[in-house]
């Protein structure tokens, strides 16, 4: 039975030794996901999927609060639909999977497995929309999409991933822009408050924008290794698709008009971000808001009378307010269990042994700081609630501090290369707006423009000279190497 | 703009005139779903998807309460995996969609779009399982599947549908059987208590069982037109797949053994069942537990001072406890709105006008019976809560009465044909167990064996003679024409 054990990692490689290996070890040892028999496709295991369910819950709640409803569109899209919008097909055609046979027959027209659903959704919107009275259309879809990738890494870049795609239609350009920005705001709020991921928001360059968009906005998080992760995008699609798909409506002046369109998406990639921002050499560190298990109860000397009963009594009581687990497995020492749950990133470990019971107390150990405190069993729910909130905030603060420490400025290309080498991370630099400079920076440093911050976060650095060509530049951009 | 209006149904065809047309009119006029540009694939619109989200919520809650966790497996399955279990590939190969090209290159091996996931899941279980200590594996997946269908009908039979598939692995045959029956019980409980669908449960015949199962169990609901709808199945897969996929474990005797396997699924087909069991000539009738809108507030004489304010005040208060909508659209009469929401199957309509406000009351109209009562605004939440529970129960009772009325018995083929013609529905009849008799009944009447009830619901009819061949028969079966 040689097939067994082949994927069992004994130790987690330290981050500083080999960051990519650390990442692979963590997701494998904590059973977040696994490689499948289909190259580039991953299996999301229960612990990973549990995180995704919580991420979904936080986003979906806000989508609904902002008036959006969910729908479901077909997985397969006829080639003729995919090719209707020129920029879009150019962007996506090279990376789609094609269904050519169905039910043992060759199909008259190839169908692609959706890489994103603008085309199929717009073909239906065209059928449904008649009058401005129906607008806005505020719809979203949770689904999986397929994009044929050459190099893949679990959660970060896989040939299939889970995501949501919002597709909204509006009477005016202003409303579409408002929606685009509103949803970027929702993304940032959830990323920061629920996932504890500080994000830079701003606009993508022409080069980096979505295939078929007027403008793409993004949120970018910075990983432990100094690389950026695009963590969510919101697109103002203007009338690209509404014209290509003949979506028209009778406007307030009783005239036929093309409406305006926005789309926005986040994906399972966020799980990769959570791992690489919060994790450490012991494994995962999960923010309480998205931790499938927020607190694990570990009985100490569990063979002694009353210990297991007390552990379960506490577990059941806390289970009403939190996601908890009681680890009462026989045959494993408390120390072994401590390590397991530490590796799994559970925010709080609760230890309870005979002496604790005598003193009406228990020990709470924080995953984020390693601190241990003895607390009274009276008012335990309140104590845990406060501690979880503190951990959630601390993870955000730590990540923000890390990002600040890993953010440099550069006046010219030499300085750019130096700071990026000495302190990998974001480089703030002026950019003249020319594609040639953008390409040159990328070529010489591997860093791309992650985003151009909005007005309120713009700065004029080094007298406004482009970091590459030295000509006058109006905008400061965030550059980084990226996943 | 000839494209518009083409799908707008003016009236709903009465059920008795043309049941299939009634069904099509209802789903179209209520905007539950729509036909897509891909033949056989449907779009689930927000109102339909809202029902699905509630169905999912009820099931998922119970799956988790019974110890199951969700995961996600790849959409695409290599041909070599699909063909590993002989019966399975024979059952599914004729109806799969094949991906032959990815990223502009022809693939070395074809990949099928999952028609169900036993094969890909078992290939991973084989990798994960080592010891009996890990068992049982209690996992489930929510996803879409593709089965190339020649004749399709929205929700009932489409080339793509949404479903869940539970896949569990157990140490012993007994445990696998116990799981199979437990999940059938969960299905029945949700169908009856949440969807208000009375179901017959029992075993499938050899002919009708799942491709690769030892035994298939089913729940069958009876539609208004007397046809049955298979509404959920639970399979004991024995060791078919564990052997084919070399899933082994070290058992309690320290020996390598093959474990036992169960799988179970329900799908968006349930929405079709809800429509065809509860609906009437005015449109949908939704059980409160799965109604996206449980109560609609309609202001009467809404231009009069205070009416809209009061409608919203009531709506907001009730909105804390129920899924509600306030229809304050201008330019539509209350009567028009009454019809709209009646068609959409909203369980309770709340009417509030100036005179009601004066008297501190409102009118509640029930969708299921059409009854209208004036009730006090004091204690309204409790009144509504009780009425929703009453409606939920009444829908179940009505459906059960309908099923009883549409259930006949038959001693021989002549009687079988007569009762099926005069009172289309379930026919209870003895069956000797021979495939030849099963086939003959099907051929001559169009009715198939829907299920063989369990011991406690077995009966011996007509001295235990097979309805077809007259030979001794031990079992009574439910026959019906089916969707």
For CATH 3.40.50.800, list the domain ranges present in chain B: 293-390
Q: Angle at CA B165, nearest 5°, toward B94 and B121? A: 75
Contacts of A145 in chain B (CB under 8 A): none
Q: Token pair for residue A181?
A: 């920005």
Query: What's the mean pLDDT in B8-36?
Result: 92
Domain with CATH 3.40.50.800 in chain A: 293-389
| The architecture CATH gives domain A407-480 | 2-Layer Sandwich (3.30)
Q: What is the mean pLDDT of residues A117-123?
A: 96
User: Where residue B6 falls among pLDDT bands split at 50, 70, 90?
Assistant: very low
d(CA A267, CA A154): 12
- Mark yes or no for CB contact A41/B256 under 8 Å: no
CB-based burial label for B79 (10 Å; 0-12, 13-18, 19+): middle
Query: Which residues of chain B neighbour A104 with C-beta distances below 8 Å?
Result: 93-94
Confidence class for position A130, pLDDT limits 50, 70, 90: very high
Does residue B85 register a pLDDT over 90? no
Contacts of A72 in chain B (CB under 8 A): 43-44, 49, 52, 144, 162
B307, B354 in Cβ contact below 8 A? Answer: yes
CATH (one of 3.90.380.10, 3.40.50.800, 3.80.10.10, 3.40.605.10) for A293-389: 3.40.50.800
pLDDT tens per residue across span A171-194? 999 999 999 999 999 999 999 999
Cβ atoms within 10 Å, residue B378: 9
Rounded Cα gap, residues A292 and A34, in angstroms: 18
Q: Are A412 and A441 in contact (CB under 8 A)?
A: no
ipTM for the complex shown: 0.95
Residue A1 confidence (pLDDT):
35
Question: Strand B228-238 and strand B215-222: pairing?
Answer: antiparallel
Q: Are B310 and B251 in contact (CB under 8 A)?
A: no
- Given a cut of 80, whether residue A146 has pLDDT beyond it is yes
- A356 pLDDT above the threshold of 90: yes
The token duo for A58 is 């936080």
Give the residue from A132, A127, A122, A134 showing the smallest Cα distance to A250: A132
Interface of B with A in 70-89 (CB under 8 A): 70-78, 81
CA distance B381 to chain A (A): 22
Q: Of A151, A173, A149, which Cα lies nearest the Cα of A159? A: A149
Count Cβ neighbours within 10 Å for each residue of B24-44 and write b for 16 or more, e otherwise. bbbbbbbebbbbbbbebbbbb
- With residues binned 3-state (H G I as helix, E B as strand, rest as coil), the percentages for chain A, rounded to 5, are 35, 30, 35
pLDDT band for position A261 (cuts 50, 70, 90): very high
* Residue B431: both structure tokens together: 């069956």
Closest of A255, A269, A281 to residue A370, by C-alpha: A281
Chain A partners of B77 at a C-beta cutoff of 8 Å? 38
Q: Which residues of A touch B38 (CB under 8 A)?
A: 74, 76-78, 111, 120
pLDDT-based confidence at B212, cuts 50/70/90? confident
Range B52-65 average pLDDT: 98
Higher pLDDT, A426 or A8: A426
Q: Is B74 close to A43, i.e. CB distance below 8 A?
A: yes
Pick the CATH number of A19-278 from 1.10.540.10, 3.40.50.11290, 3.40.190.10, 3.30.930.10: 3.30.930.10
Minimal Cβ distance to A46: which of B70, B93, B127: B70
B148 to chain A, any CB pair closer than 8 A? The answer is: yes
Domain B293-390 has CATH 3.40.50.800: yes
pLDDT number for residue B94: 87
Q: What six digits make up the tokens of B302?
A: 């809404």
User: From the CB of residue B375, how many other CB atoms can be counted at a distance below 10 Å?
Assistant: 16
| pTM to 2 decimal places | 0.96
Reduced to 3 states (helix: H, G, I; strand: E, B; else coil), residue B446 is: coil
Neighboring chain A residues of B41 at a CB cutoff of 8 Å: 74-76
User: What's the pLDDT score for residue B9?
Assistant: 53
Per-residue model confidence (pLDDT) at position B412? 98
Instruction: Please give the full DSSP string across B18-50, using - where no structure is assigned.
Output: -HHHHHHHHHHHTTSEEE-SSTT-EEE-HHHHH
Residues 107-146 of B with CB under 8 A from A: 111, 113, 120, 123-124, 126-128, 130, 139, 143-144, 146
Do A444 and A398 meet the contact criterion of CB atoms below 8 Å apart? Answer: no
The two tokens of residue A444 are 């010489």
**Distance from chain centroid for Cα A440:** 29
Q: Compute the nearest-CA separation of B417 from chain A (Å).
A: 34
Tokens of B85: 């279990």
Q: B262-280: b or e for each residue (b if 16 or more CB lie within 10 Å)?
A: bbbbbbbbbbbbbbbbbbb
Cβ neighbours of A4 in B, within 8 Å? 130
- Predicted confidence (pLDDT) per residue in B297-349, tens digit: 999 999 999 999 999 999 999 999 999 999 999 989 999 999 999 999 999 99
Query: CA-CA distance, A232 to A217, in Å (whole number)?
Result: 9
Average pLDDT over every residue of B254-268: 98
How far is Cα B444 from Cα A94, in angstroms, rounded to an integer?
A: 53
Check pLDDT > 80 for residue B3: no
| CA distance to partner chain A, nearest, from residue B46 (Å) | 5
| Cβ neighbours of A5 in B, within 8 Å | 130
* DSSP state at residue A359: T
Confidence of residue A86 (pLDDT cuts 50, 70, 90): confident
Model confidence over A326-353: pLDDT tens digits? 999 998 999 999 999 999 999 999 999 9
According to CATH, where is 3.30.930.10 located in chain B?
Answer: 19-278
pLDDT band at B461 (very low <50, low <70, confident <90, very high): very high
Q: Are strands A215-222 and A228-238 parallel, antiparallel or unpaired?
A: antiparallel
| H-state helical runs in A14-142 | 19-29, 46-65, 79-82, 86-92, 118-128
Residue A9 has pLDDT above 90, yes or no: no
Between B6, B72, B144, which is nearest A44 by CB? Answer: B72
> Rounded mean pLDDT of B232-238?
98
Picking from A27, A304, A356, the residue whose alpha carbon sits closest to that of residue A365 is A356
Tell me: pLDDT of A2 over 80: no
DSSP conformation class of B407: E
A76 has a pLDDT exceeding 90: yes
Per-residue pLDDT at B7 exceeds 50: no
Alpha helical stretches, state H, A258-306? 269-278
3-state SS, residue A407: strand
Can you give the pLDDT at residue B33?
Answer: 97
Q: How many CB pairs under 8 A join A and B?
A: 176
Q: Of B321, B315, B409, B396, give the one whose Cα is nearest residue B362.
A: B315
The dihedral sign for the CA sequence A78, A83, A87, A93: positive
Listed by number, the residues of chain A in 14-43 with a beta carbon closer than 8 Å to a beta carbon of chain B are 34, 36-38, 41-43
pLDDT category of residue B188 using cuts at 50, 70 and 90: very high
In this structure, what DSSP letter does residue B254 have?
A: S
> How far A90 CA lies from chain B's nearest CA (Å)?
12
Q: What is the predicted pLDDT for the residue at A33?
A: 97
pLDDT tens-digit profile of A265-311? 999 999 999 999 999 999 999 999 999 999 999 999 999 999 999 99
- Cross-chain Cβ contact B93/A103 below 8 Å: no
Mean pLDDT of chain B: 95
């Amino acid at each position: 039975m040689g097939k067994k054990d082949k994927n069992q990692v004994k130790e987690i490689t330290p981050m500083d030794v080999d960051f990519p290996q650390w990442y692979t070890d963590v997701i494998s040892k904590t059973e977040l996901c696994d490689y499948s028999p289909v190259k580039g496709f991953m299996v999301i295991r229960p612990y990973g999927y549990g995180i995704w369910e919580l991420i979904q819950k936080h986003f979906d709640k806000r989508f609904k609060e902002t008036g959006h409803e969910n729908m479901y569109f077909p997985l397969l899209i006829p080639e003729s639909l995919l090719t209707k919008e020129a920029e879009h097909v150019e962007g996506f055609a090279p990376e789609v999977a094609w269904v050519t046979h169905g039910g043992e027959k060759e199909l008259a027209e190839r169908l692609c497995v959706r890489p994103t659903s603008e085309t199929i959704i717009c073909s239906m919107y065209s059928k449904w929309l008649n009058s401005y009275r129906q607008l806005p259309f505020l719809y979203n879809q949770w689904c999986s999409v397929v994009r044929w990738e050459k190099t893949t890494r679990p959660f970060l870049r896989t040939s299939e991933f889970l995501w949501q795609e919002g597709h909204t239609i509006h009477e005016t350009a202003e409303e579409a822009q408002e929606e685009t920005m509103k949803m970027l705001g929702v993304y940032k709020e959830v990323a920061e408050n629920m996932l504890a991921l500080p994000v830079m928001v701003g606009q993508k360059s022409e080069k980096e924008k979505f295939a078929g968009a007027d403008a793409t906005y993004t949120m970018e998080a910075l990983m432990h290794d100094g690389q950026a992760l695009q963590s969510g995008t919101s697109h103002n699609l203007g009338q690209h698709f509404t014209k290509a798909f003949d979506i028209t409506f009778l406007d307030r002046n009783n005239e036929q008009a093309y409406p305006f369109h926005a789309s926005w998406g986040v994906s399972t990639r966020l799980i990769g971000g959570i791992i690489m921002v919060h994790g450490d050499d012991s494994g995962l560190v999960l923010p309480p808001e998205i931790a499938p298990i927020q607190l694990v109860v570990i009985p100490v000397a569990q063979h002694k009378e009353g210990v297991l009963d007390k552990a379960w009594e506490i577990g059941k009581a806390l289970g009403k307010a939190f996601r908890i687990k009681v680890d009462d497995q026989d045959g494993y020492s408390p120390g072994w269990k401590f390590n397991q749950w530490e590796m799994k990133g559970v925010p709080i470990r609760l230890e309870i042994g005979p002496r604790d019971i005598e003193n009406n107390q228990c020990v709470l150990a924080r995953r984020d700081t390693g601190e241990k405190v003895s607390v009274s069993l009276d008012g335990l729910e309140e104590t845990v609630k406060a501690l979880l909130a503190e951990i959630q905030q601390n993870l955000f603060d730590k990540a923000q501090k890390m990002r600040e420490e890993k953010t440099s400025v550069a006046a010219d290309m030499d300085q750019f290369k130096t700071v990026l080498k000495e302190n990998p991370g974001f480089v703030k630099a002026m950019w003249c707006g020319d594609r040639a400079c953008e390409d040159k920076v990328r070529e010489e440093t591997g860093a791309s423009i992650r985003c151009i911050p909005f007005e309120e976060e713009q700065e004029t650095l080094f007298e406004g000279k482009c970091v590459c060509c030295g000509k006058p530049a109006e905008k400061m951009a965030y550059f980084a190497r990226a996943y």
